[in-house]
Homo-oligomer: A and B are copies of this chain.
Amino acid sequence: MPNKIYIIDVTNSTKHETNYLNANLELAEKGFLKPIRLAGWIRAIKEDVETTFDLVPKIKHLNLSISTSDQMIHGKFQGKKTKDDVIKGMVDAVKLAKEKGAETIGVNAEDASRTADEFLHKFSLAAKEAGADRIRYCDTLGYDDPFVTYKRIKLLAEAVKIPIELHYHNDLGLAAANSIAGAKACIDAGQDAYINTTINGVGERAGNADMLSVILALKKSSGMEKKYADALQGIDLKKSYNIAKYASYAFKIPIPVNQVGVGANAFAHESGIHADGALKDRRNYELYDFEELGRGEVELVETGRTITTGE
């Protein structure tokens, strides 16, 4: 069976969200949220597993997260945890979550991009052995570039042989590129990929990988062979524009004019040569069509500038 790429949304579960989480689980039980699979996110320590099953007993899918880099072990745990403690705590937490009834568990290596391959593989193999279903490679600071991503994710997927979840931040503007590089590496290594994305690319600091950019890049860019686009699961691009607008409205965060696919200018041509060329044949200056993304009508942007036509 060919491997698959799943695009998933990132959520956080914290104590004050107990009612919200329980309500959503009830909706899910009644079938209203299909095909969404709700997953909780907690620290990979036994205490968080205990608390979670006390407060949200029906939770079935969990992400357990712990930092794995030297920077975090020294800078964040500040002498309270060694590398062995990190692995032992995570293994105990995974086993406890399984006992409590968790059906699927992803184990997150926080700051994986600053973690050496050797420790990352050891940590990930221990997670798999304890019962984890996926390893999440977290580029917590948006540090990797696509070449490092491809190399490291391929090595990890080949070494651990379970699906890899890809979590990229955008601090260097590389989140979408890293996400597609990681998915490519997983498929090439014979494993499924799960890509963490957010609507309109919002998220901590400079945001996380933008959902629409990642999907379009996998489907449309020059180097992405058909096998990567074909591996994409559960995509209906026709909803893109409405989802982007709704998220902008709900979060009160305006959509930038140059946002990929859904920004006000994403299909606007201002320079005369581009405008003229696009009128002759849309494929001259557009890689995908606005109809494909569920945008009703193309906008004409009146700039008041003289247009120099192409030829």
Chain A residues in the interface with B (C-beta under 8 A): 12, 14-16, 43, 45, 71-72, 75-78, 80, 111, 113-114, 140-148, 150, 170-178, 180-181, 184, 201-207, 210, 213-214, 216-217, 220-224, 253-254, 256-261, 263, 265-274, 277, 280-281, 283-288, 305-306, 308, 310-311
Known contacts A16-B305, A287-B172; A148/B260 CB under 8 A: no
In the complex the two chains form, what is the Cα distance from A7 to B52 in whole Å?
Answer: 50
Number of this chain's copies in the assembly equals 2
In the complex the two chains form, what is the Cα distance from A272 to B238 in whole Å?
Answer: 35
Known contacts A16-B306, A204-B271, A310-B76; A223/B286 CB under 8 A: no
Do B205 and A258 touch (CB < 8 A)?
yes
Q: Which of A150, A272, A286, A310 has the most CB of B within 10 A?
A: A310
Do A145 and B285 touch (CB < 8 A)?
no
Residues from chain B with a CB closer than 8 A to the CB of A181 are: 146-147
Chain B residue, CB-CB nearest to A288: B171
* Neighbour of A177 across the interface among B146, B216, B259, B288, CB < 8 A: B146
* Neighbour of A113 across the interface among B14, B72, B222, B260, CB < 8 A: B222
In the complex the two chains form, what is the Cα distance from A77 to B276 in whole Å?
Answer: 11
In the complex the two chains form, what is the Cα distance from A71 to B283 in whole Å?
Answer: 8
Closest Cβ of chain B to A175, distance in Å, is 8
Instruction: Knowing that A173-B177, A205-B269, A206-B263 touch, tell me 12 more A-B residue pairs with CB under 8 angstroms.
Output: A12-B271, A75-B277, A76-B277, A77-B311, A141-B286, A143-B222, A145-B224, A147-B181, A173-B216, A204-B268, A204-B269, A205-B258
